[in-house]
Amino acid sequence: MGLARLPTFSSGYVALAAVLPILVGTARFLEGTLSLGRLMQSGQAFQQVTAALSWPVDNLATMAIGAPRLSFARITLLRPHWIVLGDATDALDPGSADAMLHLVVEVLPEAGIVLIGRHPGSADILNRRLTLERTADGEVLLNEVYARRQAAKVPRPRPLSMIDRLREGYGR
């Protein structure tokens, strides 16, 4: 949800940074206490400072996508029996989200994975799916879907070491 608003914030930030020093100095310019040249110089100086300090804003999307990848790396290192994923895959594109889930299923085949929310990729990676649906009269129905994983039909290859996984970039 937060990443969906990021382009709006970034474009608003850039537009505001360009006009803010001129808006602030306009009153002094109209009074005659600030020349047009000084007003333009202050605007340019503000833009240079803003550009120098805007690295976090410009790279926020990259940092946000890196966080789910770190979470999945932590899961594979800790090897829990149950994994509850809330919005861990929401920031990823469908291909990356599927690659992360494939990694967890491959490394931890006996772990129970509970995926809550909207998964941008394919939910067929998991072998069992429960969905909650609300009917028109307000009743909540629990639907259960069984799916066969393709991996169950094919023998699993030798598991890669963690170093090999990091070199491969989580399936890229």
Q: What is the pLDDT of residues 28-68, one digit of tens each?
A: 999 999 999 999 998 888 888 888 877 777 777 777 777 77
User: What pLDDT sits at residue 150?
Assistant: 47
Give the end of a domain, one of 58, 76, 105. 58
Considering the domain architecture, whether residues 52 and 79 belong to the same structural domain is answered as: no
Residues 43 and 117 in one domain: no
Whether pTM exceeds 0.85 = no
Helix, strand and coil in the chain, % to nearest 5: 55, 15, 30
In terms of domains, do 36 and 75 share one?
no
Structure confidence at residue 151 (pLDDT): 46
- Predicted pLDDT at 30: 92
66 shares a domain with 53: no
Q: How many domains does the chain have?
A: 2
Residues 42/21, Cβ–Cβ less than 8 Å: yes
**85 in the same domain as 134:** yes
* Alpha carbon distances (Å) from 2 to 11, 64, 78, 119: 15, 9, 28, 16
Judgement on whether residues 103 and 43 belong to the same structural domain of the protein: no
Same domain, 96 and 160: yes
> How many angstroms separate the CA atoms of 13 and 23, rounded?
15
Q: Which of 40, 58, 76 is the last residue of a domain?
A: 58
pLDDT digits (tens, 9 = 90+) for 61-91: 777 777 777 888 889 899 998 888 877 777 7
Residues 13 and 75 both lie in one domain: no
* Residue 102 pLDDT greater than 80, yes or no: yes
Q: What is the CATH number of the domain that holds 144?
A: 3.40.50.300
Do 93 and 142 fall within a single domain?
yes
Token pair listed for 55 = 């690295």
* pLDDT value, residue 31: 92
Q: Which ranges constitute the DSSP H helices of 32-158? A: 36-53, 55-58, 60-78, 94-107
| Residues 48 and 74 both lie in one domain | no
Last residue of a domain, one of 58, 78, 98: 58
| CB-based contacts of 168, cutoff 8 Å, min separation 6 | 160
- 44 with 18, same domain: the answer is yes
**Structural domain containing residue 125:** 62-168
Q: Are residues 38 and 81 in the same domain?
A: no
Closest to 125 measured CA to CA, from 108, 143, 140: 108
